[in-house]
A and B are shown apart, each in its own frame.
Chain A
Amino acid sequence: MKSNDSSIPELVLVTGFLGSGKTTFLKNLLNESVGLRTGIIVNDFGSVAIDSRVLRSDAYYVDEIAGGSIFCVCKEGEFIQALRSMLVSSPEMIFVETSGMSDPSNIERLLPLAGNVSYSRSYCIVDAGNYIALKEVFPVLERQIVSSDIVIINKVDLVTDKDTERVRQEIIRLTEVPIYEAAHGVTLPIAEHKKCSRYSGVSSDSISNRPKSLVLNWEGEVDREKLRGFLEEMKSHILRIKGFCRTEKGIVLVSVTTSSVEVEPAVSNDITGLSLIARRETPIIKTLKNCWKAFFDKELRIS
């Protein structure tokens, strides 16, 4: 879905739990997008469109999806329809603010159904004050972080530095994407975030106990169905696998989460292998080697 064609609108996703400050953060993003034709899709859980009223202004085209999460299977059709309607007015940017309960791991599967839109990046806003308590009850918080390209620890002004650091450590266990701190949703300029767009490979994290990150490579092509089988077997052992690789049916984009495996035809010259992220405590290399052997004869290089 990533494209350099300037006529294709960029889609930016803002996720985060209830009360984490998504709307305030989005308003700040919008202030930096002045002058662009901008569409906004808002999804409010439980009470209809309070967020959309906060955001509504003559400058934007706002659509809202109420009564559930955009990525609930029974709301996906509404989301696609809202996006299709929005694309008719040729926006340059589309911001999607999800409900606090949204699990955004399906978005890459859904966007092709809506039309020509380039998925630029996904933010996850984390409330520094209550993340640790919330994640114990609501596993979706971890899924939101794992699916994001940039994590913002918000409301750091309301907690101690020690608390912020604890939250950061918890996030680093799940992902190696850049983590920024914010107060009132204000963080680095948007230009800095753009460097963290999907597939750009930027990572600002340098702390040692982050999840294991590996790159998988092999010579030549593999059978696409066997590749799918291999990824299905691996999905319960990893947090994320993504990247491009060659199959007998051409180049494919692989995107694997703990609950889904996508292997879709793609156009790319950047065949650098598959990036894999797993929890540090998972004995991933042995699992990888055994699983690979079950599907393929050729050697798997793990770096």
Chain B
Amino acid sequence: MELITGSDSGKKLLFDSLERKPVSRAPWVPFAGIHAGKLKSYMAIEVLKDKRKLLESLLEVNRLYRPDGQPVLFDLQLEAEALGCELVWSDHNPPSVCSHPLKGNKEIPARVLDESSGRIPMVLEVMNDMKREVGDRTALFGLICGPLTLASHLRGTDFFMDLIEDAEYTERLLSYTKDVCIAMTDMYVRAGMDVIAFVDPLVSQISPRHFQRSLLKVFGELFRHVKSCGVKSSFFVCGDATKNIELMCQTGTDSIFVDENIDLSSAKAITDRYDIVIGGNIPLTTTMLYGTQQDNIKYVVDLIEKLGTERYIVAPGCDMPYDIPIENAIAVQQTVSDMENAKRILENYEADDTDVNIELPDYKNLPRPLIEVFTLDSATCAACTYMMSVARLAIEEFGDLVEVVEYKSTVRENIARAKAMGVRNLPSIYINGKLKYSSVIPDRREFFGEIKRLIDS
């Protein structure tokens, strides 16, 4: 496995970007929360509660998607649960809050979270493990539920009327949730997190006037605290927060991440004025979940061409849905790593290939097993590299008894061949003309067993 550390690492690239230094390409941060579990066939509840399964899943994200930055846990209910909210769990979605300790009760809790609260001990252990395993090459993000969303978790829908009718209570509750955020920050920084991100979807629902009145001071204090801890900071928001971007810039954050509801070009014009980095906003549903690999390559090529690589981080719009096809995230990673080749791949897909004469092998009468590996480009796509490595191991194991061929999509004829074969996702391994592995790297023993059966038959 290729190990990238030190000056060439994705972590350094991400830090350079956050420090507004020139970068060779845009950094890439896949928000693989519950989606990480899909890579190891674990349910949402397993990956959000079981230390071993979470770590295993995160390492697989790191291996396949080769992120420059990576969140450890994407669960906006973690703090709420530790403070007494009950959760409802689902197989393929993050949990949701179903009870609110402050509903009908305008008190301010005395308790702030510590290292023994709720699932926090498990999360801190995984953070330490991730720091040890990949921390030299990947910037680790500690995600914390923002003070506004946390207040609504604790108080329920009553909080929306508080915002209008009881400014004094709103201020006290937000001051409390801010203290919770500070306690979380301190724990996550001690566990080795490089970037502290406050994720506050409800911010998009508040008018700029109320942001200024109720939130600007709170977030200002939070980002000053993060800075005093010596780590980088980020402000995540979901929904149409267009009118609040300018105020978000005034909180002192290093970066802002937004979803597809925001016009990134217009938002970047604002963040550039404040010399702040912006990240986002590959559409989660239409592109990542239901789009093809080509859709994802095209979207990211367009984003980078429109926004450039300075003060910009490529990321999904929000927490990636569980079922996003693995090959779509792989396509994003490939595009970020090598834009020129990604554009060539797109051109090859869009080209009229009627003049390309492709002759498929006579699969029924092959002299020896034929392993065909269709890749985006094994030089830059992490998953393609691993798939090719396994295929090359087959040559070491079986020598002349097998034949291995790589078809890179950067070559026009290879795309025409992939179309003729009906290849839908890359990377894929075909053995004797039949699809055996798509996107998922084969287990070596199973793979060799398959080849051996064919040699013996």
Q: Are B209 and A18 in contact (CB under 8 A)?
A: no
Nearest CB in chain A: distance from B265 CB, A: 9
Binds A, one of B15-23, B157-165, B382-390: B157-165
- Say whether B317 faces chain A, with CB atoms less than 8 Å apart: yes
A113 to B156, CA, bound (A): 32
Q: Are B207 and A139 in contact (CB under 8 A)?
A: yes
Sample of 4 more A-B contacts, CB < 8 Å, known A67-B77, A73-B285, A101-B202: A18-B160, A100-B157, A113-B286, A138-B207
Count CB-based A-B contacts (< 8 Å).
106
| Residues from chain B with Cβ under 8 Å of A109 in the complex | 286
- Say whether B239 faces chain A, with CB atoms less than 8 Å apart: yes
- Say whether B60 faces chain A, with CB atoms less than 8 Å apart: no
Classify the secondary structure of B's interface with A. loop
Interface size on A, residues (CB 8 A): 36
A133 to B152, CA, bound (A): 19
Nearest CB in chain A: distance from B13 CB, A: 26
A66 to B259, CA, bound (A): 20
| Residues from chain B with Cβ under 8 Å of A47 in the complex | 97-100, 156-157
- Say whether B95 faces chain A, with CB atoms less than 8 Å apart: yes
What would 13 A/B residue contacts be, using CB atoms closer than 8 Å?
A: A46-B100, A46-B156, A47-B98, A47-B156, A47-B157, A48-B88, A73-B259, A76-B284, A100-B160, A101-B205, A109-B286, A137-B210, A138-B207
Per-residue CB contact flags for chain A residues 61-75 toward chain B (1 = under 8 Å, else 0) read 000001110001110
Interface residues of A in 30-74 (CB under 8 A from B): 45-48, 66-68, 72-74
Chain A residues with a Cβ under 8 A of chain B: 18-19, 45-48, 66-68, 72-74, 76-78, 80, 100-101, 103, 106, 109-110, 113, 130, 133-134, 136-140, 143, 236, 258-260
Residue in B closest to A18 when the chains form the complex, CB atoms: B157
Nearest CB in chain A: distance from B215 CB, A: 12
Q: Are A72 and B201 in contact (CB under 8 A)?
A: yes
| Residues from chain A with Cβ under 8 Å of B210 in the complex | 136-137
- Say whether B321 faces chain A, with CB atoms less than 8 Å apart: yes
Interface residues of B in 149-187 (CB under 8 A from A): 152-153, 156-157, 160, 163-164
| Residues from chain B with Cβ under 8 Å of A78 in the complex | 93
Nearest CB in chain A: distance from B202 CB, A: 8
Q: Are B164 and A134 in contact (CB under 8 A)?
A: yes
Contact A68 B318, CB 8 Å, known A137-B206, A138-B205, A138-B206: no
| Residues from chain B with Cβ under 8 Å of A136 in the complex | 164, 207, 209-210
Residue in A closest to B240 when the chains form the complex, CB atoms: A259
A138 to B319, CA, bound (A): 24
Per-residue CB contact flags for chain B residues 194-217 toward chain A (1 = under 8 Å, else 0) read 000000011001110110000000
Per-residue CB contact flags for chain B residues 215-243 toward chain A (1 = under 8 Å, else 0) read 00000000000000000000000111011
| Residues from chain A with Cβ under 8 Å of B201 in the complex | 68, 72
